């Protein structure tokens, strides 16, 4: 199982003092020093994760909000890290797939083959109206058709010497991308979708599918059975196309000496998630059920690994304190391979 960590950005983690101070700078003209505090916080977290053996980091994209832009952020992080995969979120309809292919190949080259992308269909209409020049699609089927073409254009330009597509949303005629990626046959593509059209796109075009779950966090067993069923569904779709798809899960970890203490913090985070749609993003990750003592969390991670989840993308509150606790108290309980990876990185 590969360990991943969310790069902390204002809209991806629960508010904490370090990020609140950074947001005050970001939202005040003329405020801040030579190094932006939100960027430094991201560096501190990702470097710490890398030292513990984490293998991938997700750089989310939130255009409406005080978040540094994901491609620029990832490019800067590439110069501050050594081995960790840089998974950049992209929204079909905002940045053209031809441009994403070019930027992606550039970042792949400049990072030594560490690029991945996470394709996010999007849910925030105001974000698309402003940053996609009114490009919100209210029809879900059309959004998924656009997502399908989007991935096909990126993949085609990354892998073919001459690529053409005469689509509903994108047109490419004998397109060629002179820069070839280091990673072969192309950088890894992640996605998450609960709908049948979305799962079909993942089965046909993507490498890793982030599995779905629901709140409240106490329905872990029900979520686990649902995840297992959904994984079988996507695996069958991929096999019917002659492909294999790997599986990931995004999770908020709350590790405490007692179950009661962990669940009290999880209850508080669920309540926090009721404030607005953005706060809900951080809270919803409790649905993976990584709440409890170190032994409970390790046991649940092993269960996920046993059913085929090969990547976990984690975040904590506070981020650095939670990461340190996970590394010290949970990672030693994980299978030997995970511990060996961590030892190699920190030794």
| pLDDT of the residue at 340 | 46
In the three-class reduction of DSSP (H, G, I as helix; E, B as strand; rest coil), residue 163 is classed as strand
Counting residues of the chain whose pLDDT is more than 90, the rounded percentage is: 89
First to last CA, the chain: 20
Domain boundaries, the chain: 2-91+189-346, 92-188
Peptide linkage before 235 cis (omega within 30 of 0): no
Length of the chain: 347
> Beta-carbon neighbour count of residue 63 at 10 Å?
18
| pLDDT of the residue at 278 | 79
| pLDDT of the residue at 338 | 52
122 confidence band (pLDDT: 50, 70, 90): confident
pLDDT digit string (tens) for 220-243? Answer: 999 999 999 999 999 999 999 999
| pLDDT of the residue at 337 | 46
CATH of domain 2-91+189-346: 3.20.20.30
pLDDT at 256 over 60: yes
pLDDT digit string (tens) for 315-346? Answer: 999 999 999 999 999 999 998 645 444 444 44
Please give the helix or strand (H or E) that residue 277 lies within, else none. helix 277-284
CA dihedral 13, 324, 78, 244 (to 10 degrees): -80
- Cα 277 vs. chain centroid, distance in angstroms? 18
pLDDT at 12 over 90: no
| pLDDT of the residue at 289 | 97
pLDDT at 310 over 50: yes
Average pLDDT over residues 205-211: 98
CA dihedral 42, 217, 4, 325 (to 10 degrees): 70
pTM summary value: 0.94
| pLDDT of the residue at 76 | 97
| Residue 326: closest CA among 285, 302, 300, 298 | 298
| pLDDT of the residue at 344 | 46
166 confidence band (pLDDT: 50, 70, 90): very high
Q: Are 336 and 302 in contact (CB under 8 A)?
A: no
Average pLDDT over residues 158-179: 97
| Residue 313: closest CA among 6, 103, 67, 1 | 6
Average pLDDT over residues 52-76: 96
Average pLDDT over residues 89-110: 97
């Amino acid at each position: 199982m590969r360990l991943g960590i969310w790069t902390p950005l204002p809209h991806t983690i629960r508010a904490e003092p370090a990020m609140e101070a950074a947001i005050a700078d970001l939202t005040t003209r003329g405020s801040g020093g030579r190094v932006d505090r939100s960027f430094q916080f991201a560096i501190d977290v990702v470097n710490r994760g890398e030292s513990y053996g984490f293998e991938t980091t997700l750089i989310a994209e939130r255009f409406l909000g005080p978040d540094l832009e994901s491609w620029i952020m990832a490019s800067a992080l590439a110069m501050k890290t050594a081995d960790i995969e840089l998974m950049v979120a992209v929204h079909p309809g905002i940045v053209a797939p031809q441009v994403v292919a070019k930027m992606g190949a550039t970042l792949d080259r400049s990072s030594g083959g560490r690029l991945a992308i996470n394709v996010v269909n999007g849910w925030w209409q105001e974000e698309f109206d402003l940053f996609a020049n009114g490009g919100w699609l209210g029809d879900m089927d059309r959004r998924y058709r656009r997502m399908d073409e989007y991935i096909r254009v990126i993949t085609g330009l990354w892998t073919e010497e001459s690529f053409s597509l005469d689509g509903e949303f994108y047109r490419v005629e004998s397109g060629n991308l002179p820069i070839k990626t280091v990673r072969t046959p192309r950088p890894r593509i992640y996605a998450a979708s609960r709908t049948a059209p979305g799962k079909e796109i993942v089965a046909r075009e993507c490498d890793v599918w982030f599995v779905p779950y629901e709140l409240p966090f106490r329905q872990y067993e029900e979520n686990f059975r649902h995840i297992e069923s959904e994984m079988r569904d996507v695996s069958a779709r991929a096999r019917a196309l002659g492909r294999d798809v790997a599986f990931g899960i995004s999770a908020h970890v709350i590790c405490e000496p007692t179950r009661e203490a962990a669940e009290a913090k999880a209850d508080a985070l669920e309540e926090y998630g009721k404030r607005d749609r953005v706060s809900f993003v951080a809270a919803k990750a409790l649905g993976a059920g990584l709440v409890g003592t170190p032994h409970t969390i390790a046991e649940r991670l092993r269960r996920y690994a046993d059913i085929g989840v090969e990547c976990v993308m984690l975040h904590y509150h506070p981020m650095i304190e939670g990461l340190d606790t996970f590394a010290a108290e949970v990672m030693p309980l994980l299978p030997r391979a995970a511990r060996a990876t961590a030892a190699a990185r920190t030794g």
